[in-house]
Amino acid sequence: MLNPLRILSHLVLLACLTLMLAAPASAAIVRVLTVQGPISPASADYLLRGINKAIDDQAHLIVIEMDTPGGLDTAMRDIIKAILASKVPVATYVSPQGARAASAGTYILYASHIAAMAPATNLGAATPVELAPTGGDKPAAPGQPTQADKPGPTKPEAAKPADTPTGDPKMRKAVHDAAAYIRGLAELRERNVDWAERAVREAVSLPASEALELKVIDLVATDLDDLLKQLNGRVIKLDGQTVTLNTAQVEIERVEPDWRSRLLAVIGDPSIAYILMLLGIYGLIYEFSNPGMLFPGVVGGICLLLGLFALQVMPISYAGLALMLLGIVLMISEAFVPSFGALGLGGVAAFIIGSVMLIDTDLPGYGLPWMLIVPVAAASALFSFFVAGMAIKARARPVMTGAEEMIGAPGEILEDMEHEGWARIHGEQWQVRSSVPLMRGSRIRVRARHDLLLDVEPDKENKHV
């Protein structure tokens, strides 16, 4: 005999299984991060936090849309470390059309699990720019062909082996290190190793179509939808295992830079950091010259800390920074020492030379333009010669108003007195007190004030006549 309760329980279980199978599964998440402009500490912070958040949210895929002329080596390596350690596949997509992944962007592209480019984009020119030779062997700018890429006969020196870069030992060491680094990334992702090394040693570049033919990248996609369509069903290696991407029906989530990333991007600009540092220095100088004003000191302290924070993540020349500070000291010293302009002119020269040397790199977007240095130097000179000088002179002047103005004021005794009496000071009658007897008509000078009672003493320079 069948048990009705058992039959009912089986029916309920069967219904639950049917509902679970019929319910639509939640769409997988594709997290899209966007980098435009130089690879900087701000962009590195944005990408690192975006990758970690995608891992925590168990995203199916991370897409980095990139358009960069290059950037700082330290920021680039932080991004690559995060990509290599990611538990979620990372696809770097050079987009939109006309974009590029030059210098640091090429390394990031090689490090990604999937390397994709939009049509009419390019990558390459990965030679360390700040250490590039300055003679005829200077690497071509990103996107420009080198002599080895041009048709026709080449010069004899163009046939030098690729593993013997010219230049000083520091440059050769940097090139060898960069070449080994990108070669290791290419071997890890099974991409074109030889071209990766050429991109470093010869600063060559490739358009998207040729990069696909040479197996430098994995695919060319017109837009993000086309990219996801081509990635559907693709098998990649992740942590030693094979993973099949399912991007047919996914939920795309774009993560824009938050206020912190925007703030870092703003103060991370060398020109902004340069101005912040100077505003901080001059604000503190003005505060020290006029104690108690508070506002210049508070604003100056904040600006100086922000400027120094931005500069500490940049390739700064400490010799240039020292020259700038020396120039400021010399310009301010002109207000104290009558050097007939020698200190001031020397300070301006030191300030300009230090500003030129301050950013120790030729990377795009990391230089201080002359259009900024010259006006700032002129403004600094005017501030030092006039504003600081006027503040110092104003501080040295005697007090003209208030209770303190009575100290040192001359006067005349109105009647004979032993210790207390009356005197005329500034045309007014004041009660005065003296430690010695004074006669009528004696000249006195105020020594201290106690409300309406003045302490006086004989004026030795203007005795009673």
Q: Which residue has the higher pLDDT, 349 or 130?
A: 349
Q: Check if the beta carbon of residue 84 is closer than 8 Å to that of residue 111.
A: yes
Do 223 and 140 lie in a common domain? Answer: yes
User: Does the pLDDT at position 89 exceed 60?
Assistant: yes
Do 27 and 102 lie in a common domain? Answer: yes
For residue 8, is it within any domain? no
User: Does the pLDDT at position 26 exceed 70?
Assistant: no
The pLDDT assigned to 391 comes to 59
Q: Which of 361, 313, 267 is nearest to 75 (CA)?
A: 313
Q: Which residue has the higher pLDDT, 241 or 396?
A: 241
User: Does the pLDDT at position 463 exceed 60?
Assistant: no
CATH number at residue 447: 2.40.50.140
Q: Render pLDDT for 103-133 as a digit per residue (tens, 0 to 9).
A: 999 999 999 999 999 999 999 988 876 433 3
Q: What is the largest CA-CA distance in the chain?
A: 143
Q: Which residue has the higher pLDDT, 10 or 383?
A: 383
The pLDDT assigned to 118 comes to 96
Q: Render pLDDT for 140-181 as a digit per residue (tens, 0 to 9).
A: 333 344 433 443 433 333 334 444 455 567 778 889 999 999
Structural domain ending residue among the three candidates 396, 412, 441: 396
Structural domain ending residue among the three candidates 396, 422, 444: 396
Do 214 and 354 lie in a common domain? Answer: no
Do 331 and 372 lie in a common domain? Answer: yes
Do 215 and 299 lie in a common domain? Answer: no
The pLDDT assigned to 374 comes to 85
User: Does the pLDDT at position 30 exceed 90?
Assistant: yes
The pLDDT assigned to 151 comes to 39
The pLDDT assigned to 160 comes to 42
Q: Render pLDDT for 187-223 as a digit per residue (tens, 0 to 9).
A: 999 999 999 999 999 989 999 999 999 999 999 999 9
For residue 7, is it within any domain? no
Q: How many CB atoms lie within 10 A of CB 61?
A: 26
Output the pTM of the full model: 0.64
Do 349 and 422 lie in a common domain? Answer: no
Do 166 and 72 lie in a common domain? Answer: yes
For residue 342, is it within any domain? yes
Q: How many CB atoms lie within 10 A of CB 367?
A: 15
User: Does the pLDDT at position 336 exceed 50?
Assistant: yes
User: Does the pLDDT at position 324 exceed 90?
Assistant: no
% of the chain at pLDDT higher than 90 = 32
Do 27 and 168 lie in a common domain? Answer: yes
Q: Which residues lie below 8 Å from residue 405, measured CB to CB, with a gap of 6+?
A: 398, 399
**pLDDT range class, residue 97, cuts 50, 70, 90:** very high
Q: Render pLDDT for 52-85 as a digit per residue (tens, 0 to 9).
A: 999 999 999 999 999 999 888 888 999 999 999 9
**pLDDT range class, residue 267, cuts 50, 70, 90:** confident
* Number of domains the chain is built from: 3
Q: Which residue has the higher pLDDT, 212 or 372?
A: 212
- Residue 463's alpha-carbon distances to 17, 412, 413, 420, 454, in angstroms, are 116, 10, 11, 19, 19
For residue 222, is it within any domain? yes
User: Does the pLDDT at position 45 exceed 60?
Assistant: yes
For residue 295, is it within any domain? yes
Instruction: Quickly tell me which residue has 């774009």 as its tokens.
Output: 254
For residue 312, is it within any domain? yes
Do 298 and 438 lie in a common domain? Answer: no
For residue 69, is it within any domain? yes
For residue 3, is it within any domain? no
CATH number at residue 136: 3.90.226.10
Give the C-alpha separation, 393 to 439, whole Å: 39
The alpha-helical segments, DSSP class H, found in 91-153 are: 104-111
Do 233 and 345 lie in a common domain? Answer: no
Do 128 and 230 lie in a common domain? Answer: yes
Range of the domain at 352: 268-396
Q: How many CB atoms lie within 10 A of CB 433?
A: 15
Do 38 and 60 lie in a common domain? Answer: yes
Structural domain ending residue among the three candidates 261, 277, 300: 261
The pLDDT assigned to 179 comes to 92
